[in-house]
Amino acid sequence: MVLVKDARQKVNTSQRRRGWMFRQSVGKLASRLEVADGQSFDFGRTRLRFPGPVPHGEDDTELGWVLPCVVERSREKVMFAPDAQGPVSQDTVKLILAEEPDLLVTSGPPTYLRGFKIGDDFFQTALSNMQVIVEKVETVVVDHHLLRDEGWKGFLEPVEKVAERAGHRVITAAELLDHPAQPLECQRRRMYEEEPPSAEFVKWAELPKEKQASMSPPL
């Protein structure tokens, strides 16, 4: 069974098109394709619950909506709030606080776009909202957007201070597993310069997608 976001409601044009394509492809492979918006599903003693969609960033964003997921077992609750970009939406903050998760996974703001597509007010709002959240949520795992920026640790410093005062944690997924944080995407340029791909790989990467699909990359 595949649980999916409703591709007809709370979507932009791109999401509606991708949702249709997903159903056409994966729908043929899955035994069941279930719209999860506002629904809950029980698997043994574990419940997966999907509150309504939240903005993919600000309330008036053109980027569409994303679907948070709450996982509950016994008295433990984990909330996965993907692509909330901070969050910056006050409604998203209210939803997270109302759920009272023991652990929250969220993306943080895309600070690598600062001054390019997004103004400072956006990031100040994200910072303030994250401080509010970490004061209430015991463990917050930050992933995705924020970790694309080499300065991600500096952005989190004031958030970490609030968490520490509350006896809480702000960490990466690696640190949750007791591994050091090694976000590779923000190191992409340096890694490319230090360990450039082989000429054979570059040649493969320049092939049409149809040919790439028929042959493995020379790694």
% helix, strand, coil for the chain, step of 5: 40, 20, 40
Query: To the nearest whole number, what is the mean pLDDT of the chain?
Result: 93
Q: Percentage of residues in the chain with pLDDT exceeding 90? A: 78
- What is the mean pLDDT of the segment spanning 55-69? 90
Count of helices and strands (H, E) across the chain: 8, 11
Cα–Cα distance for residue pair 184/166, rounded to 1 Å? 30
Cα–Cα distance for residue pair 196/200, rounded to 1 Å? 11
Q: What is the pLDDT of residue 61?
A: 86
Cα–Cα distance for residue pair 12/120, rounded to 1 Å? 25
Residue 127: band (very low, low, confident or very high) from pLDDT cuts 50, 70, 90: very high
Residue 205: band (very low, low, confident or very high) from pLDDT cuts 50, 70, 90: very high
Please give the span between the terminal C-alpha atoms of the chain, in angstroms, as a whole number: 34
pLDDT at 218 over 80: yes
- What is the mean pLDDT of the segment spanning 98-116? 92
Tokens of 218: 């020379």
DSSP label at 147?
G
- What is the mean pLDDT of the segment spanning 73-79? 96
Tokens of 1: 């069974």
The pTM score is 0.88
Other beta carbons within 10 Å of 202 = 11
What sign results for the dihedral spanned by CA atoms 60, 154, 167, 165?
Answer: negative
213 or 100: which leads in pLDDT: 100
Tokens of 123: 């990031």
Other beta carbons within 10 Å of 158 = 13
- What is the mean pLDDT of the segment spanning 140-148? 92
- What is the mean pLDDT of the segment spanning 38-43? 96
Tokens of 79: 């909330």
Residues 160 and 172 sit within 8 Å (Cβ to Cβ): no
